[in-house]
Amino acid sequence: MDGIYSFLNLLLPFEWAEFDFMKNALLAVLMITPLFGLTGTMIVNNKMSFFSDALGHSALTGIAIGVMMGIDNYLISMLGFALLFAVAISGVMSSQTSSSDTIIGVFSATGVALGVVLLSANGGFSKYSNYLIGDILAVSPDELLLLLFVLLGAAAFWAAAFNPLMLASLNPDLAASKGISVKRYQNLFMIVVAFIVTVSIKWVGILIINALLVLPAAAARNVSGGMRSYHGLSILFSLFSGVSGLILSYYLGTSAGGTICLVAAALFFLTYAGNRIKARG
């Protein structure tokens, strides 16, 4: 890491970049935000924003399970529960007994309520409340390596599955006629979203992770003219929100995650207003 820090010192001769924790946070942002920007496009296309929000809420129950089982690394229990949670939601949705938003709402409410009850049973909920807002300034070099592997894995998945996923989301009947298993790809995508949300939750926070997944993609959709520009702008907006929000939070003394979210929200409203003005003109 010393070599990376030295390079960043040369590249970024600013006050905020003098601290190692800010350098770590910047590196984390540069790896997390492209993931969010790319994944968010498919979440918005498939109208799955409520699903990713439910996954974030399920993290509390994952932590509680880890505490009860004596697991020191809560990422393991959170990831295991999130994957089961995603598969369970998918299974119930496929039965078509209720609308998808109702099913996801039931699972989301159950997940967060169960987590709160289990963690507060012994009066220890306050110890885990930091997961609600996250703290990207606390990311460690070892965790940066984990994020790098997640980024590379997600990029490989996207390269291999992008076309089937896109076709399945836009026209499921056409995808099925071409031999694409729509259900399989939808389940794979849900698992990938569960993995990304769970890995990022510690630094982004349960309360705002869904906003950071949806806002850059929604802003890009306001102004993009095609699929290529849509995905490119989503990644660009996500990166811009992450870096500028992190720097602003340093000078304002505010929560990094919340500030990043507000920058992303500002981009959405600016692109929305620009799109409305263009439509009227």
Number of domains in the chain: 1
Confirm whether 281 is domain-assigned.
Answer: no
Token representation of residue 90: 């998918």
Q: pLDDT tens for residues 63-79?
A: 888 878 877 777 888 88
Confirm whether 112 is domain-assigned.
Answer: yes
Confirm whether 168 is domain-assigned.
Answer: yes
Token representation of residue 163: 């076309």
Q: pLDDT tens for residues 140-179?
A: 888 888 888 888 888 888 888 888 888 877 777 888 888 8
The CA distance from 131 to 143, in Å, is 16
Token representation of residue 213: 């997944």
Confirm whether 246 is domain-assigned.
Answer: yes
Show the domain range for 160: 2-276
Q: Which of 246, 221, 151 is nearest to 192 (CA)?
A: 151
Confirm whether 136 is domain-assigned.
Answer: yes
The CA distance from 136 to 167, in Å, is 35
Q: pLDDT tens for residues 107-150?
A: 888 888 888 888 787 666 677 777 777 888 888 888 888 888 88
Task: Classify the C-alpha dihedral 59-165-234-139 as positive or negative.
Answer: positive
Question: What CATH number does the domain containing 236 carry?
Answer: 1.10.3470.10
pTM of the model: 0.85
**Cα three-residue angle 213-219-224, rounded to 5 degrees:** 120
Assign 226 to helix, strand or coil.
coil
